[in-house]
Amino acid sequence: MSLKPFSKAGKQCGRCSTPFLCKPEAVSECDCRKIELSFEETQFIAAAYKDCVCNKCLLELKEEFNRLQKPRAIFSWSGGKDSAYCLYNVLTENVFDVKYLLTTVNATFKRVSMHGVREELLNQQADAIGIPLIKVEVREGTNAEYEEQMEVLLLKAKAEGIEYVIFGDIFLEDLRAYREANLAKVNMKAVFPLWKQNTTELINGFMSKGFKTITCCINDGYLNEAAVGKEIDKEFLKTLPAHVDPCGENGEYHTFCYAGPVFKKSIPFTIGEKVYKPLELKLSDESDSTEAVVTKGFWFVDLIPC
């Protein structure tokens, strides 16, 4: 008794037309069995292609199916350490399909709002991350202007099937409530992956992953001029007063993140002049609720693109 030999005839992929080897008489021995597909993934592929496809296409279709199943989101990107670490975690967990980075920019000065970082460096960050960047451009700096511009942008995103906006906020309840209320106006939802996490653990985790960041804005109610333009490292953290949050979550300082696993390449820059902007403002001091931290102004350092 002789066994019928397996077919070794070449076959064309039903998707890309590339020739590949197929064993229809022994499906269990086909090369495609090396790729694990769920029932849902198999049904998705079978609905699109009636004939066999090559392994490369199988993997691409598997990825496409999973991408389509993930909820679409915009990531609120400030350019600082919390944004970078939050985005890294979001992309690593692979729960959301992040379609865009979103940043508020002062259209007059061409700088990131509050951080004071040049728009050119912001663009370089987005290029290095590989996610398209969209901007809310403001000139007056009022809440009304911001909310109006944001609503227009979010409605466009909603039309693309985007339902979530992801933020790197950690524990400011009033800010969270403000964000959620604005998103509710356009029937979108906010996501806070870092919410209520220990800020000492967060900054240590950030550094342990190889991220690099520098202070770009300092609130003089908490820190002085010497703290602006400083690399965030263990030595910097040791110099922080007891009432300053390690992540600067109370607005003590803001940063520019220029290297780390979320970037395909580091962002080159040089340190320019320091500039002081006076401002009268009172901020709550979490270390002693009976007192207030008086902010007279902010120190900025000009980071110059190379």
Q: What confidence tens digit (pLDDT) does each residue in 25-65 have? A: 666 667 777 888 888 788 888 888 888 888 899 999 988 88
Q: Can you read off the two tokens belonging to residue 81?
A: 């350490």
Q: pLDDT tens for residues 139-176?
A: 987 889 999 999 999 999 999 999 999 999 999 999 99
- Given a contact cutoff of 8 angstroms between Cβ atoms, the answer to whether 193 and 85 are in contact is no
Question: In angstroms, rounded to a whole number, what is the distance separating the alpha carbons of residues 118 and 296?
Answer: 23
Amino acid at the residue 136: V
Q: Above 70 in pLDDT, residue 282?
A: no
Alpha-helical runs (H) found in the chain:
39-48, 55-69, 81-93, 119-129, 143-159, 173-184, 199-208, 234-239
Helix (H, G, I), strand (E, B) or coil at 296: strand
Q: What is the pLDDT of residue 5?
A: 40
Q: pLDDT tens for residues 6-20?
A: 344 568 888 898 888
For every residue of 3-19, which 3-state class applies, written as one string? CCCCCCCEEECCCCCCE
| Region for 257 from its dihedrals, namely left if φ exceeds 0, alpha if ψ lies in -120 to 50, beta otherwise | beta
Comparing 34-38, 92-96, 205-209, the range with the smallest average pLDDT is: 34-38
